[in-house]
Chain A
Amino acid sequence: MHYLLNHLDTAWDLTLIHLRLSLIPVLLGLLIAVPAGALLWRRTALRRLSTVLAGIIFTIPSLALFVVLPLIIPTRILDEANVIVALTLYTTALLVRAVPEALDAVPPPVRDAATAVGYTRIGQLLRVELPLSVPILVAGVRVVAVTNISMVAVGSVIGIGGLGTWFTEGYQADKSDQIVAGIMVIFILALIVDMLILLGGRLITPWARAGAAG
């Protein structure tokens, strides 16, 4: 606790970095995975293929990605953008599976009724199926966001690990206080982010809050 209290401004700076590095990939991942997932949703063969691809992306070690990405995209090796792109690959891989699963949870009678009253394919997707998939999707996003918060610590191998740098520094300098402080702050951060996403999800699904009557 002493370490944290003595280093509050560093903690704040590192927390902001950590939030940037963990949350922006989640947003970008969603932006890519929602349309991609919707496209894949009822095409079984493609969906299976994407699951395999996603699994492969996961096996790429992050350090390798950090070093190789600058060769493919115009980032420099220590740019935050580098880490963000790498983590976006991971979050997209996770979310591209979560999106069709969330769509699967839309009750079939509702989908049937929507088609029967005269929604077009796209209209139904945008105005019925995607909105109704949000509660399950939010659950998936919570998992991805919290996972990402610990993945960011991986970036400390190149000095861009946000709060994860407290782990490596504390380990090297034999400062257990620093390590514990790092763990605590990351844990609290994950709790807060998780809760914010949960509340955000509730905010955009007023019908789920309304509850059943009589």
Chain B
Amino acid sequence: MITFDGVTKRYPDGTVAVDDVTLAIPDGAFTVFVGPSGCGKTTSMRMINRMIDPTSGTVSVDGRDVAGLDPVTLRLGIGYVIQSGGLMPHQRVIDNVATVPILKGESRRSARRAAYAVLERVGLDPKLADRYPAQLSGGQQQRVGVARALAADPPILLMDEPFSAVDPVVREELQTEMLRLQSELRKTIVFVTHDIDEAVKLGDSVAVFGRGGTLQQYDRPARLLEHPANDFVAAFIGADRGYRALQFFTSGGLALQPLSTVTEQQIDDLYLAEQEWRLVVRDDGSPFGWIDAGGVEVHRHGGSLYDSVAAGGSLFSPDGTLRAALDSALSSPSGTGVAVDESGAVVGGVLVEDVIDALEDQRRATAEHPAD
């Protein structure tokens, strides 16, 4: 358990970076500190491993005030990941990862062995172990940073905007990896980000920091989206928080419409009315795209499949979230979202109205049986 008790950080020139923050971070939880830049989220996190000391108030780890602990020993027991990776450029990847075990006194051989194991765990090819950080891509470097933080198996992991500097595709991969890792390791993680979507996606709890280093709200992500504590939080979450909140509703209860599909061979025999669309599937049942009357004409006259078919919308899984289902319906040219199973085969369709109905049902269910 990590606790902040009335913690304030005031600098000699008068700026207040953290203002009277009190919160408790339970063991094994993924806690995100989020907020605009300069609101004290990083400063607060860095007080946990004494990179910064509070001016007043107490930060405690497992009941012990960190101010009374030797900083080096404390830090050896806390994993730390920063935005640019912070890898030692002059050491190979494997030595970077083995840093903390070696600092703790393990032999080089046993530290390296542990390092190789962690490399695999974070999804890195062991062949990269002998490279230097500069020879890795940004995403790979970030994974190495995470591996280094995990190598000595610390109970606490501090992560300072670790995924901000990579492109969105890589960022999403890393976020998914992070969730998978956490489900395996169950560490106490404190994660700092300025991106509310990332916070809501990753965190078990989210602490929103505001201007002047004040704690605005500390809540589970779903509650944060539904019941922002004040205008600041609401504004920070942004205009489409309702849409975002949908990710916390499952599409389990969603009724799927049967969806008739055609293969490429059957296109020429189709007769479609205006505004009528048909889903074209491949041989393995996976969706290719939507075709309308005009597309059928093009195909009859010798056009390729690509030229005849309109690109489909996003796909969703029946076990996924309402948000995915709604997006699928909204982005489909035919107005029908396409549900696929694990193998990618089409299992049904959904209309926007269906999603809204499901949402109402779930809301009613929650109101009648409030869970907390």
Residues of A with Cβ closer than 8 Å to B?
107, 109-110, 112-120, 123, 128, 131-132, 205-207, 210-214
Report if B132 contacts A (CB, 8 A): yes
Q: Is the CB of B51 within 8 A of A116?
A: yes
5 sampled A-B residue pairs with Cβ under 8 A: A110-B87, A131-B90, A132-B88, A206-B132, A211-B135
> Which residues from chain A contact B131 at a C-beta distance below 8 Å?
210, 213
CA distance A199 to B100 in the complex (A): 32
Report if B82 contacts A (CB, 8 A): yes
> Which residues from chain A contact B104 at a C-beta distance below 8 Å?
118
Q: Is the CB of A207 within 8 A of B90?
A: yes
CA distance A211 to B86 in the complex (A): 17
Min Cβ gap A183→B in Å is 40
Q: Is the CB of B88 within 8 A of A210?
A: no
> Which residues from chain B contact A107 at a C-beta distance below 8 Å?
89
> Which residues from chain A contact B132 at a C-beta distance below 8 Å?
206-207, 210
Of the candidates B75, B90, B134, the one whose C-beta lies within 8 Å of that of A116 is B75
Min Cβ gap A48→B in Å is 22
> Which residues from chain B contact A214 at a C-beta distance below 8 Å?
136-137
The 4 closest A-B pairs by CB, nearest first: A113-B86, A118-B76, A118-B75, A210-B132
CA distance A180 to B74 in the complex (A): 66
Give the size of the chain B interface in residues (CB under 8 angstroms).
30
Min Cβ gap A105→B in Å is 12
Min Cβ gap A108→B in Å is 10
CA distance A45 to B87 in the complex (A): 31
Of the candidates B73, B80, B84, B133, the one whose C-beta lies within 8 Å of that of A117 is B80
Min Cβ gap B276→A in Å is 47
Report if B49 contacts A (CB, 8 A): yes
CA distance A128 to B90 in the complex (A): 8
Min Cβ gap A114→B in Å is 7
Q: Is the CB of B72 within 8 A of A118?
A: yes
Q: Is the CB of B90 within 8 A of A117?
A: no
Min Cβ gap A10→B in Å is 45
Min Cβ gap B141→A in Å is 11
> Which residues from chain B contact A116 at a C-beta distance below 8 Å?
49, 51, 75, 80, 82, 86
Min Cβ gap B22→A in Å is 24
Contacts A116-B82, A117-B99, A207-B91 known; 12 new A-B pairs at CB < 8 A: A107-B89, A112-B51, A113-B86, A116-B51, A117-B100, A128-B90, A132-B88, A205-B90, A207-B89, A210-B132, A211-B135, A214-B137
Q: Is the CB of B90 within 8 A of A132?
A: yes
Task: Write the chain A residue with the least CB distance to B46.
Answer: A116
Residues of B with Cβ closer than 8 Å to A?
49, 51, 72-73, 75-76, 80, 82-91, 99-100, 103-104, 131-137, 148-149
Q: Is the CB of B87 within 8 A of A113?
A: yes
Q: Is the CB of A115 within 8 A of B135?
A: no
CA distance A11 to B80 in the complex (A): 60
Min Cβ gap B102→A in Å is 10
CA distance A114 to B89 in the complex (A): 11
Q: Is the CB of B103 within 8 A of A123?
A: yes
CA distance A109 to B80 in the complex (A): 12
CA distance A115 to B73 in the complex (A): 11
Min Cβ gap B339→A in Å is 36
Q: Is the CB of A110 within 8 A of B86?
A: yes
Q: Is the CB of A110 within 8 A of B88?
A: yes
CA distance A150 to B135 in the complex (A): 41
Q: Is the CB of B89 within 8 A of A110?
A: yes
CA distance A107 to B83 in the complex (A): 14
Q: Is the CB of B89 within 8 A of A212?
A: no
Task: Write the chain B residue with the least CB distance to A113.
Answer: B86
Task: Write the chain A residue with the least CB distance to B76.
Answer: A118
CA distance A131 to B88 in the complex (A): 10
CA distance A118 to B105 in the complex (A): 12
CA distance A31 to B100 in the complex (A): 30
> Which residues from chain A contact B76 at a C-beta distance below 8 Å?
117-118
Among A116, A207, A214, residue most surrounded by chain B Cβ atoms (within 10 Å): A116
> Which residues from chain B contact A123 at a C-beta distance below 8 Å?
103
Min Cβ gap A19→B in Å is 30
Q: Is the CB of A210 within 8 A of B82?
A: no
CA distance A115 to B133 in the complex (A): 19
Min Cβ gap A44→B in Å is 16
CA distance A132 to B82 in the complex (A): 19
Among A110, A206, A212, residue most surrounded by chain B Cβ atoms (within 10 Å): A110
> Which residues from chain B contact A132 at a C-beta distance below 8 Å?
88-90
> Which residues from chain A contact B133 at a C-beta distance below 8 Å?
207
> Which residues from chain A contact B83 at a C-beta distance below 8 Å?
109
Q: Is the CB of A207 within 8 A of B134?
A: yes
Q: Is the CB of A212 within 8 A of B75?
A: no
Q: Is the CB of A120 within 8 A of B86?
A: no
> Which residues from chain B contact A212 at a C-beta distance below 8 Å?
134-135
Task: Write the chain A residue with the least CB distance to B73.
Answer: A118
Q: Is the CB of A109 within 8 A of B82?
A: yes
Given known contacts A117-B75, A123-B103, A213-B137, is B84 in contact with A109 (CB within 8 Å)? yes
